Chain A
Amino acid sequence: DIQMTQSPSSLSASVGDRVTITCRASQTISNFLNWYQQRPGRAPKLLIYVSSNLQSGVPSRFSGSRSGTDFTLTISSLEPEDFATYYCQQSYSAPITFGQGTRLEIK
Chain B
Amino acid sequence: QVQLVQSGAEVKRPGASVKISCQASGYTFTSYTMHWVRQAPGQRPEWMGWINPGNGNTKYSQKFQGRLTINRDTSASTAYMELSSLRSEDTAVYYCARDPAYDLWSGFFDYWGQGTLVTVSS
Contact = CB atoms under 8 A, between A and B. Distances in A.
A59 interface: no
Interface in A56-107: 87, 89-92, 94-101
Contact of A46 (B35, B59, B95, B109): B109
Q: Is the interface of A mostly helix, strand, loop or mixed?
A: loop
Interface string B41-84: 00011110000000000010111000000000000000000000
Of B46, B61, B108, B110, most buried by chain A (CB within 10 Å of CB) is: B108
Interface residues of B, number: 21
A104 B91 CA distance: 26
B59 A94 contact: yes
A39 B100 CA distance: 22
A95 B112 contact: no
B26 to A, nearest CB: 14
A44 B63 contact: no
B114 interface: yes
Interface in A1-38: 32, 34, 36
A46 B110 contact: yes
A94 B110 contact: no
B107 A32 contact: yes
Contact of B107 (A36, A45, A91): A91
Interface of A: 32, 34, 36, 43-46, 49-50, 55, 87, 89-92, 94-101
Given A46-B110, A94-B47, 20 more contacts: A32-B107, A34-B108, A36-B45, A43-B95, A43-B115, A44-B45, A44-B112, A45-B112, A46-B109, A49-B108, A50-B108, A87-B45, A92-B107, A94-B61, A94-B107, A95-B63, A96-B35, A96-B107, A98-B46, A99-B44
Interface of B: 35, 44-47, 59, 61-63, 95, 97, 100, 106-110, 112-115
